[in-house]
Structure 1
């Protein structure tokens, strides 16, 4: 049995690890890392904080970090069929935390049925409406992982907005509903919507239309052919022009309006919303800065550490906060690419893969294996950290 290191001065370790998607949740990864810290130094004070960047896991991270509870409901799924969905609610602050993917995500659509002409965001509006009915007036919404390209009109219809085509008929579901739009009405909008504020976790900077717009860039992965993408782009332009007649400040070029197939545009134009980096919302709402300020060591990480991480993903957001207070930051990942070296220039002092040897991806992602590998690797890194501190 390995001997633990006895420290006369208690070390405070703050652990903030993003989920290892398909393997460990943020909290599970944090608990495993905490176990490793305590094996090396039983006297350490360990604080485990949830982490997400606005995508998958955001609701769990914020509900855990803010003392909320989950709400469950059946909504209209992306294909117009009922799906079981959920969101978080923090009663004290009247805040709802929603992932649009829970109601309109691409994982809810089988590959053979992916077609943005027909997928809708209506269920997202139903979730918002449910939360409003339960007293929520503040919303944090992650809009990553969508299957839609409907400009958000499905969500808006669920909230009471009306979109009619040239024949006077209410627009149907999906991007096809944008074709031939002629009239927009807000006469029956949920009355309480004007009291609501929305923080939209949006890490996409694409505009609504054009060669960098949602149809051209994200349409293909949602099942669009080149011809469909071109049509949808034109329909979105017409929809935006109609919106601008009612909301003069509507701006199709604003960064992020193309997020989630135009859902970013819908929020920014039709509601009291701001588009923000997802990691910043999570860090602020969970008050992570207060925890890091008093830490001796910060531990972070995610499933794969690579060049994208260095461009501002969740672990770098944590690292930058650590460097604000001069704290050492160590990161752990299931896999590490050679490009991850860029993370050292973004506040991560050292990073490690938790894999002890060669194995298959399936073996590495098995929950108990990943938990054990995390604990063992963090223990050894903690021993090295403590040894270096004693010499200094």
Structure 2
């Protein structure tokens, strides 16, 4: 029997790779001679760097960069020299996990550290950079990132402004003459499942600002500041970027990349599944196991497990999803998307216990599904 194991991470408990290994252990309990292929996935957020770096045969590197509020932090990124590809998660430099909720300051937080990571990758010889945009705590339109790469934010008198949302309130133009010309030869692939525009009710500020520390009364002014920045970028680059789907990702960080670089936005899960040739490895004789921490109705909206299942269905394979939490909305995913959705927790307990026991619970749930498959094959 052939299995493809393609889970996303189970947040706060298992990486995608750890989840895949737990599923494999459960399968091997029942089907000792099973042909098992591990294809851990990510959607542009947590785990993207690890998964893609592993898929490309690269190595993880660590550097010191400036964090979202100016403190130094250690950021990891991947580099695969054979293909000249660097893999960066913005959360390594500007992640929401780096700033406690009580200390978040959306007016001061900036993406400078992401620019430092990009420059490091360029200096290593990267010809392609895959940038995962999940989990940021900034809302600066990528101004800090561009500042680290040589762009200046200017007011109406041509004087430089801080590359923060506070500074963007007075922004009227940008000067990008000092940007390294080598960037013209680098392809940037933005991995994100966010489709929001840069501004407006569905944009970066109103949708994601509150979780990053914005107060409700701040939202109009923050959105206006991003709007001024986008206008300045569009005038300097001659590109219409503000309404581009996904421009609002990571606090509208994507706008800065779309303005001046050879950048495209693609769903992170699709990118990874293409890299590993998922469709080429999957056929009607396969059984596909996928999953993530929570399975609900929103899983169908571009999430990694949904993309895995959609591709599996196209190839005639059966797809089973495992979740640490499976709510009643998951019923809407059956049978069009998944053949079954399986909650992994085996006893009543608290969240801490569920997170701590995720590996064993996922292993046992996978084995149980295999017992059912074995019984079905004998009938």
Give the unaligned 5+ runs of structure 1: 1-10
Deviation for aligned residue 1:129: 0.3
Deviation for aligned residue 1:386: 2.3
Report SS of the residue matched to 2:6.
Answer: strand
Distance 2:225 2:191 in 1: 25
Contact 1:148 1:174 in 2 (8 A): no
Residue 389 of structure 1 corresponds to which residue in structure 2? 377
User: Which stretch of structure 1 is more off in the superposition, 210-219 or 55-64?
Assistant: 210-219
Give the unaligned 5+ runs of structure 2: none
RMSD: 1.5
Q: Which runs of structure 1 show a deviation greater than 4 angstroms over 4 or more consecutive aligned residues?
A: none
Pair 238,49 (structure 1): closer, same or farther in 2 beyond 3 Å: same
Task: Check if 1:222 corresponds to 2:216.
Answer: no
Contact 1:14 1:295 in 2 (8 A): no
Residue 41 of structure 1 corresponds to which residue in structure 2? 31
Report SS of the residue matched to 1:17.
Answer: coil
Length-normalised TM-score, structure 2: 0.96
How many residues are aligned here?
A: 379
Match of 1:338 among 328, 331, 336: 328
Report SS of the residue matched to 1:293.
Answer: coil
Matches within 5 A, 1:2-17: 11-17=1-7
Distance 1:214 1:181 in 2: 18
Residue 90 of structure 1 corresponds to which residue in structure 2? 80
Contact 2:173 2:236 in 1 (8 A): no
Deviation for aligned residue 1:78: 0.2
Length-normalised TM-score, structure 1: 0.93
Task: Check if 1:78 corresponds to 2:68.
Answer: yes
Contact 1:16 1:298 in 2 (8 A): yes
Report SS of the residue matched to 1:323.
Answer: helix
Distance 2:284 2:126 in 1: 33
Task: Check if 1:107 corresponds to 2:74.
Answer: no
Contact 2:192 2:246 in 1 (8 A): yes
Summarize deviations over 1:324-363 as a string: whole Å, max 9, x none. Answer: 1100111111121111012224421112111112121111
Distance 1:346 1:142 in 2: 29
Residue 358 of structure 1 corresponds to which residue in structure 2? 348
Report SS of the residue matched to 2:172.
Answer: strand
Report SS of the residue matched to 2:324.
Answer: strand
Summarize deviations over 1:225-270 as a string: whole Å, max 9, x none. Answer: 2332211222222222222222222231222111111112111112
Deviation for aligned residue 1:167: 4.9
Structure number with larger C-alpha Rg: 1
Summarize deviations over 1:102-149 as a string: whole Å, max 9, x none. Answer: 101111112222111100101001000000000101011111111111
Summarize deviations over 1:66-85 as a string: whole Å, max 9, x none. Answer: 21110100001100111110
Report SS of the residue matched to 2:334.
Answer: helix
Matches within 5 A, 1:273-312: 273-293=263-283, 296-312=286-302
Distance 1:67 1:290 in 2: 19
Deviation for aligned residue 1:183: 3.2
Match of 1:348 among 338, 342, 359: 338
Residue 233 of structure 1 corresponds to which residue in structure 2? 223
Contact 2:195 2:247 in 1 (8 A): yes
